[in-house]
Every structure is written in C-alpha cells, then in structure tokens.
Chain A
Amino acid sequence: MRRTILSLLLAAGLVGAPRPGFAAEPSPKVTEMQQLHGQAQAHVQQYNVTFDAKQLEAAHELLARWLVEHRAHYGDTPAAVSVRAPVEQQLSTIDAELQRVGAAASAGPAVPVAVAPARPVMSPEQAAELRASRGWIAGGVTSIALGGVVLVGVSLPLWLLRERALRRANEQTFYADEQRLVSRARRRQAGAFATFAVGAAFAGAGVAMLTVGVVKRMRVRSELSWAPALGPGFAGASATLRF
C-alpha cells in the first residue's frame, strides 16, 4: 500500500509542477505557487521515509493552498484544469492515506495479543472417567435430594404428629383415652424412625456418591491442568487453573 502511494505521489509530483510556459518570466505569484508545490512534495517525501502523519497533513495543506492559488491565478481554462488534475488526484490520495493513518491511530497501538494455549486434549480414559464422575455426582445429588424429601416430607411430619399425640394423651383424664393416643404416638414414632432410617440411608449414600464423583472429577482436572506445550520457537508446559 505504501509503495503504491509513494509511486503515485512521485508521479503526481512530476506532473503537478506548474508548466513554465504560462509566463516567460515567472511572476512572484507563480514563484510562490512553485514553492508551495515543492514544499508539499518535500513533505510527501518525508512521510514516505518517516511515516509521520504530520508531514502528510502539511503536504495536504500546502497542496490545497496551491490549488486555490492556481485556480485564482489561471482560472478554469482546460489547460489550467489539466494541470490541476494530477494535484487534485494527489490530494485525494493524501486524504485517503490520512484517513487510514487516523483510523489506525484511534484503534490504539498494536498490542501483542496473548494467545491462550489450547486446552489440553483429553484422553479417552480421562473422558470416560469424567463421564463417570458426572454420573456419580448426578446420582449423589439425586440420592441426597430423595433422602431430603423423605426426611422432610415424611419423617418430620410423622415426628411432629407423634409429639401432638403425646401432648393430647397427657391431657386425657381416662386411661383408655390416654392409651388410644399413646398407641397412635407409638405408630407415628415407628414410622418416623423407619422413614428416618430410609432417608438417612439415601442421604448418606448420596453424600458418598457425590464425594466419589467430585474426587474423580478433581483427579481428571488435576491431570489436565498440566500439559506440555509446543509451538514455533517455544517449548514448555502450560498450567490450567480453575477457581
């Protein structure tokens, strides 16, 4: 791109110079325009070397002034227009280049992008173990939930009903009435104990399954967290940490 600009600018510089044939003795105005054009081309040359946008801006300003002065001095005759055409083309090229440079500057300096190393590839055994760990964890959570439902939904109400029956038994006057409520409390207590045992067994099994699953998953992840890394001009190991 820059090579193209350079050639275009040089071409414009060659054809853009005022033709000496307009006057035998250049007037001061013509001399001033020649100087403007020459300075503009010098700035363009500077830009081609330094890539300093200020040089290009200066060239742009000088060429714009040259066009205004040229038009004021020579008018819009076909000869004058044909002389200005390469300069106008050069000016539009400079405009485009200035826009390009401005956009690049607003995007900020090019920062080296840190490319994250690709995640280490899992071996089939590790994938199988990870799948198994998911199964253990899902089973554990289900079992804990089931145990919790049994404990909360069955054991707890039964125990509360037992307490209620005992409280009511304590309020009775006659032995027969008391024993009827005590028997009811006994049944509810037996149910509460039985369901508590079932719920606790489910919850305990769930905790055990969950532990197994988590341990398996942690083991796979710890195996995956360190992996050798190789690249052009680089060799080492990468660590993946999860929080």
Chain B
Amino acid sequence: MRSLQTTTSRWIAVVGMLMGAASCDSARFDHVELYEIQGSPGAEISSSIIVPQGGVILFEAFPRAEANSVEYVGLERFKLRPDDPNVAEAHRAILRDTWVVSGIAVGTTRLQVLVDNEVVDRIPVEIVEAAP
C-alpha cells in the first residue's frame, strides 16, 4: 500500500512536471556568469572582457535565469557571438561550457549572448594593444 502511494505520488509529481513544462513559461534570462580559466598576458575579465590584440582568453560561461523563473536545465542552445568579428572572435572550446575569445584588432565590441537563438545580453569586449 505504501509503495502504491509512493508510486502514485511520484506519478502525480511527474505529471505535474510534464504539465508545468508544457504549459508554463521557460527560463527567463537574467545574467551570464563568466569564470576565467586562462589567458594571454594582459587578458582578464572584469566589467568587460579585456584581451590583448593577438591574444586569447579562455573562460567558462554559464547563463543564469531570473530568480522567479525556472532555471536552465541544459537543453537550451547557448551561444556567444561578437558584434564585430573584425575586432574579436568567439569560439567554443572542446570543454563543456568553455569559450575562447581572441583579439583580432584593437578596439571595442560587444559579445552577444544568445539563448535559443535570441540575443538576451551583450558583454563589452575590449581589445587592447599587446604588451611589448
């Protein structure tokens, strides 16, 4: 009897999740968390991503949802793309959630944050002169 109740409760919970997933709104983007892993000398992540020209920075990027919405589950298509690919380029690394931004030319641009092909944020990128 107890196992039946447990099964029933689990079933009700799963049905609720299915219905919730089917009917409620998806996760609403709030911000993206960036964690630097490694980079060329002078490359850093502060209020913007700073990369010397010809250098790279390797970092992890995690989109975070609003507190009052459901969290990203991992099925979302997350992407970073520069506004101006002539100033900086962004590529996925082989590791999970890891990205590489390389400095092409001195200048500033912004890194578009796309969730499910929708731009939800822009991160400033500054390409500086490489230190001699």
Contact = CB atoms under 8 A, between A and B. Distances in A.
A185 B18 contact: no
Nearest to A148: B11
B95 A173 contact: yes
Nearest to A189: B75
B75 A178 contact: no
Q: B interface, how many residues as a size bin?
A: 10 to 19
Interface in A112-170: 151-152, 155-156, 159-160, 166, 169-170
Contact of A176 (B11, B94, B97): B94
Contacts of B98: 175
B94 A185 contact: no
Main secondary structure of the interface of A (DSSP, over half): helix
B24 interface: no
Nearest to B18: A196
Interface in B37-90: 73-75
B119 interface: no
A211 to B, nearest CB: 20
Interface residues of A, number: 24
Contacts of A166: 73-75
B22 A196 contact: yes
Contact of A185 (B14, B15, B74): B74
A174 interface: yes
B28 interface: no
Given A185-B74, A189-B75, A175 B92 contact: yes
A33 interface: no
A182 B96 contact: no
Interface string B1-44: 00000000001001101100110000000000000000000000
A231 B121 CA distance: 88
A169 B74 contact: yes
